[in-house]
Structure 1
């Protein structure tokens, strides 16, 4: 998707499953801390915004949907709906389609990103999301964990952190293609996912990799202008200047070699331009946003 005319906003979030909640998914709000969620509400137009939650990735979508309703209500939101999409047929539902058409913000939960690709990819709802993201100023698509990863065209579908920097450590499939310039990974620091995003960039060197720590997100405007929010960091993997990359010729299980892979470590308020690959770092005394 060309970034030249994109009017919508993306907010990928790294997840926050271990911050004060129980390990069982039903008892935790692993999608976002209140501070980041407040940014989502602000970008969508405030407390009166029409917000649609899509818990397709979750193994317990009803419970996770109810958690979202509670979280947004805590922030004073008055128009929040959950769309329990579990199949391609659901993604062709006239009622669901109309709700996506009228939403100010669509937010995808965490879970398994492959479920989002399977049940929503190449559907009418998917096409509406792409069209509205491109053409509707003020329209927001947010996603945490799996919901963030599914924004990519080349989507990380899985992979072992224990096999870091070895060919075959990452499993890829097609995502929603909202921002094809990026490969996104989440829970990045906490789960040691450096290796699998590195292989993803070796495979798709024209893409830039974003590794999101938990309790961290980015507000992406016009498909290119990114601002970090939250308490953690975003690791940017830029392969534009690679001088050596032997991923294509290696056998599975073989350690890879990459030279001149550029990394940036960005924190709250720092900015990155996807188009120009330029970093803008806030002064040390700048306030937390």
Structure 2
């Protein structure tokens, strides 16, 4: 595995790629959109409309990344006509099946040039097995941090946005120590663990199990046809038709290190916030018509909007 020096040298190499950032777009606040899966593609299509909007509108250069899917052609076909009907005029698929493909300079340049990148569903482990320590992953960070590219992800694509990624875990009626397995994701969201299809697949126990292992992180459960839009350093907005569940266990007391692996956990002083679609919370330059979040929620939201480091 490359050491930190090698990673930094690789990152510096990206900056010297031909045209990589030679003509930067006007400075924008980076946006992330984590979608709980099964987003509406037939009726009002609120989430995909908002993705196109924050990416720059109909002329934005958009990519659909299908690396998480076992059927990349089918994944692209499922979105191609929808984006066209919503007015997006410059949408292309991009796929990686091997780490070598994720290091291809031409593909990396396409990421660096994009205004919006949407990561489709499938298997987050498949996605990260291809992207881990790749030039494409570094390019995603550069596009987001330096150009303000909007990066969205649905289902597996949403799970992979965070640094600590929920990789394996069956729905559990109650949390227990060995219910989940965590792995490394893209790291665009630095201080949270994301779970998707949340209420539809009864995943509260699963997310609590993950937070018992990592109480320093914020748990984010996103329902189907629901998107959590994060405006870096500034605000969050809930899109679609479901809700986002935030679980803050930073003050929690737990017996996770003392019980047997399959024994139910004690978890005390856990805070839970339920944010339905249509709500927006601003942390800076607050609009007088937008209610200020209460202190406990504000502390949780500060974790979400806090930009993580550019990963080398």
TM-score by length of 1: 0.85
Match of 1:268 among 247, 269, 277: 277
> What CA RMSD, in Å, does the superposition of the two structures yield over aligned residues?
2.1
User: How far did 1:223 drift?
Assistant: 4.8
Is 1:59 equivalent to 2:59 in the alignment? no
Is 1:97 equivalent to 2:100 in the alignment? no
User: How far did 1:43 drift?
Assistant: 0.5
Change (3 A) 1:33 1:192: farther
Match of 1:150 among 160, 171, 179: 160
Provide the rounded CA distance (Å) in 1 between the counterparts of 2:200 and 2:44: 16
Change (3 A) 1:182 1:33: farther
Change (3 A) 1:261 1:271: farther
Is 1:230 equivalent to 2:240 in the alignment? yes
Residue 82 of structure 1 aligns to a residue whose secondary structure is strand
Q: 1:183-205, CA deviations, whole angstroms, 9 ceiling, x for partnerless residues?
A: 00000000000111101111111
Q: 1:139-171, CA deviations, whole angstroms, 9 ceiling, x for partnerless residues?
A: 100000000000011100121114631221112
Is 1:277 equivalent to 2:288 in the alignment? no
Task: In structure 1, list runs of 5 or more residues that go unmatched.
Answer: 1-5, 20-28, 280-289
Q: 1:82-127, CA deviations, whole angstroms, 9 ceiling, x for partnerless residues?
A: 0121111111112211110110001100110111111012111111
Structure 1 runs, 4 residues or longer, greater than 6 Å off: none
Equivalent pairs, count: 261
Match of 1:239 among 243, 249, 262: 249
TM-score by length of 2: 0.79
Tell me, yes or no, if the aligned pair for 1:163 and 1:169 is still in contact at 8 Å.
no
Deviates more, 1:163-172 or 1:7-16: 163-172
Provide the rounded CA distance (Å) in 2 between the counterparts of 1:121 and 1:70: 30
Query: Corresponding residue for 1:178?
Result: 188
Match of 1:200 among 184, 201, 210: 210
Q: 1:13-35, CA deviations, whole angstroms, 9 ceiling, x for partnerless residues?
A: 01117x7xxxxxxxxx69x9721
